[in-house]
Chain A
Amino acid sequence: MYNKIMVPVDLEHIEKIDKALHGAAELARSYDVPVCYVAVMGRAPNKVAASPEKFEAELNMFAREQADKYGIETECKAVPSVDVPVELDDKLLEAIDDVGADLVVMASHVPGVADKLHLIGSNAAYMVKHSDASIFVVR
């Protein structure tokens, strides 16, 4: 039914998306398809890594760990961005085509006061609205 699953990851908050990672791995196993972990990385150092090169290495390691943990085939892609919070949605959207995914499994926060006040948006909602791929939103 699906050929490849893409999972957008924020390595800085990886502990928050465990359910999405688990769900994606289960689906990958049952359809016998690979999972591609996609992260959008900025140019300045952050909590995850001191440079984009090290960030890619971290993401690679993460993908390998997931492969070992769930016994699935994994790959990864780090998408460079000069302004992450603004470009995140569009970079993820581009990545769906680039990696050739037809199912996206992604975590999304439970809407709260900040959403009601329109202070923050939902990346998952953007994907649903703008992508042809199936989107599986996990909470």
Chain B
Amino acid sequence: MNEDIKQAEQAISEIEDLYDTDYEIGQDNIEKWGFDMHAPVFPVSAALIALFVIGSLVFPEQAREGLEATRNWVQATFDWLFLSAGNIFVLFCLALIVSPLGRIRLGGEQARPDFSIMSWFAMLFAAGMGIGLMFWSVAEPVGYFTEWFGTPLNMPGFTDEARTAALGATMYHWGLHPWAIYGVVALSLAFFSYNKGLPLTIRSTFYPLLGDRVWGWPGHVIDTVAVLATIFGLATSLGLGAQQAASGLSFLFDIGSGLQTQVIIITGVTAVAVISVVRGIEGGVKLLSNLNMVFALLLLLFVIIAGSLGGFLGNVGRTVSGYVEYMLPLSNPVGRDDETFYHGWTIFFWAWWISWSPFVGMFIARVSRGRTVRQFLTTVLIVPTVVTVVWMSAFGGNGLDQAVTGAGDLAEGISDSTLALFQMLTQLPLTAITSFLAICLVLIFFVTSSDSGSLVIDSITSGGKTNAPVTQRVFWATAEGVIAAVLLTVGGSAALQALQAGAVSMGLPFTFVLLAMCISLSRGLYHERQLLEYNEVLRR
């Protein structure tokens, strides 16, 4: 018996040694003027951001050509890698859900969640997917059905089968795969931070692989790239999103969709985001996320009831069967001949989700302490997928019904993808109210993304501290708005698209980062499980 205890104690100390680092959180930081900056991540990120912004303003066309060529090359050359990695992430997450490792609790056995399930879920959605779903849930399936820009597996459009495939392919892009990508990053960060005591920053997930070297240059590079991908991803979507919101507003009300409206939207969103970051997680992003969940639910119920309940149920059937039927052929990287769809949609989305994952993953990690691995992955993977099935069946299904029956603008296909949602709502009653609600949803989703993004960048640029002064997050939230407005005003869409292409290209290095995270995380969870078992021996 004594022998057992000795062995267990020995094993525990061996495992604990693996994660024992002398690094002190904040040891490389400079505290000045209300900032708490990690050196060199903060100054280098800030300098590179300025450099890229100025570069794309001075040479907008060249920057766009260069960065878009990079993105296209990345997407065309590594299409197989993106697709296979996406599949691996889904399988990895599903395996963790069913394995005994799923019982491990983030933050240790005694940890309890900080947020209710509903608020937690609302925040997950609001950070990473809200805006996209608003814009694409109608445009994407209708686009496939009407052969707007490629069709899944080159299937001819306008047929009954094309309708099912359109919903299935859209679901494939917005279902398990993107959430698995977010899930891997979020779980790795949460685990190494809450269970292993490492700083809440991207580099920590590499500690099991690189050891103390993560506190040096390899870590600086990983964190800096994450900051750049996040700020450019956010700023360019805010800039391009402002154009979309402006065209939505001018569609609804009689106002111009020109630069002035766009800059007003950016300023408004940024101002609310700054107020929200100053109010913190509880009073800011959580409140807005919950509010948006209520708005989204109202809009969803309205579309279901006003569309036709029977039609909706039929569309749920189509969405589910389309998703199941086309998931395997669409996730197969070999012998694809649907080039336009494959590269233009799937690979673009995969690169996009992956370049977005440091931001969304880190924010999810921030609010997920106290959940078990199983609970965490179920809520991050399965629940959003189910919700998206319902959302897609209502919005996409209604859009498709209109395209099939020849009602409204959608029957003529997609003219402007940003208007598809409003064109669908026009065919239902109470258009003014529902469209206004939709615009509010879009704008609030922009605020929550900007807010949660600033929290994330703040934490990365202060070396994993979550208690850096509020000034610092205000700085990042403002920077994001300023970058968006300056790019839009001086460089126009070309400058925005250039930097967005740059941000999406970051998906390639991050694919390797995410694959490495899977290995790190498996080792970490395996060790944690051993620790629990040995501790059990000691208790007995």
A-side interface residues toward B, CB under 8 Å?
12, 42-47, 49-51, 53-54, 82-87, 113-114, 117, 119-120
CA distance A56 to B26 in the complex (A): 20
CB within 8 A of A44: which of B34, B110, B283, B466? B466
Closest CB in chain A relative to B356 CB, distance in Å: 21
B24 touches A82 (CB 8 A): no
B220 CB–A CB distance under 8 Å: no
CA distance A131 to B504 in the complex (A): 50
Please report which residues of chain B, range 267-314, place their CB below 8 angstroms from some CB of chain A when the two chains form the complex. Answer: 278-283
In the bound complex, residues from chain A placing their C-beta under 8 Å from that of B253 are none
B25 CB–A CB distance under 8 Å: yes
In the bound complex, residues from chain B placing their C-beta under 8 Å from that of A45 are 25, 193-194, 197-200, 464
CA distance A118 to B244 in the complex (A): 35
A44 touches B464 (CB 8 A): yes
Known: A46-B26, A47-B24. A113 touches B108 (CB 8 A): no
B-side interface residues toward A, CB under 8 Å?
24-27, 33-34, 107-108, 110, 114-115, 193-194, 196-200, 278-283, 366-367, 369, 459, 464-471
Closest CB in chain B relative to A81 CB, distance in Å: 9
- Considering only CB atoms, which chain B residue lies closest to A120 in the complex? B34
CB within 8 A of B467: which of A46, A113, A120? A46
Known: A43-B114, A119-B33. A86 touches B197 (CB 8 A): no
Interface of A is mostly: loop
In the bound complex, residues from chain B placing their C-beta under 8 Å from that of A50 are 196-197
In the bound complex, residues from chain B placing their C-beta under 8 Å from that of A86 are 278-283, 470
In the bound complex, residues from chain B placing their C-beta under 8 Å from that of A82 are 114-115, 280-282, 367
CB within 8 A of B108: which of A51, A117, A120? A51
CA distance A84 to B196 in the complex (A): 21
A44 touches B469 (CB 8 A): no
CA distance A53 to B469 in the complex (A): 24
In the bound complex, residues from chain A placing their C-beta under 8 Å from that of B282 are 82-83, 86-87
Sample 9 A-B pairs with CB under 8 A, ordered by A number: A12-B467, A42-B467, A46-B467, A50-B197, A51-B107, A85-B280, A86-B279, A119-B471, A120-B34
- Considering only CB atoms, which chain B residue lies closest to A10 in the complex? B467
Known: A46-B25, A86-B280. A113 touches B200 (CB 8 A): no
Closest CB in chain B relative to A22 CB, distance in Å: 24
Known: A113-B33, A114-B34, A119-B33. A44 touches B366 (CB 8 A): yes
Closest CB in chain B relative to A76 CB, distance in Å: 19
CA distance A113 to B33 in the complex (A): 7
CA distance A46 to B25 in the complex (A): 6
Closest CB in chain B relative to A1 CB, distance in Å: 35
- Taking A44-B366, A46-B465 as known contacts, 16 extra A-B pairs with beta carbons closer than 8 A to each other, sorted by chain A number, are A12-B26, A12-B467, A43-B466, A44-B465, A46-B26, A47-B27, A50-B197, A53-B108, A82-B280, A82-B282, A86-B278, A86-B280, A114-B471, A119-B469, A119-B471, A120-B469
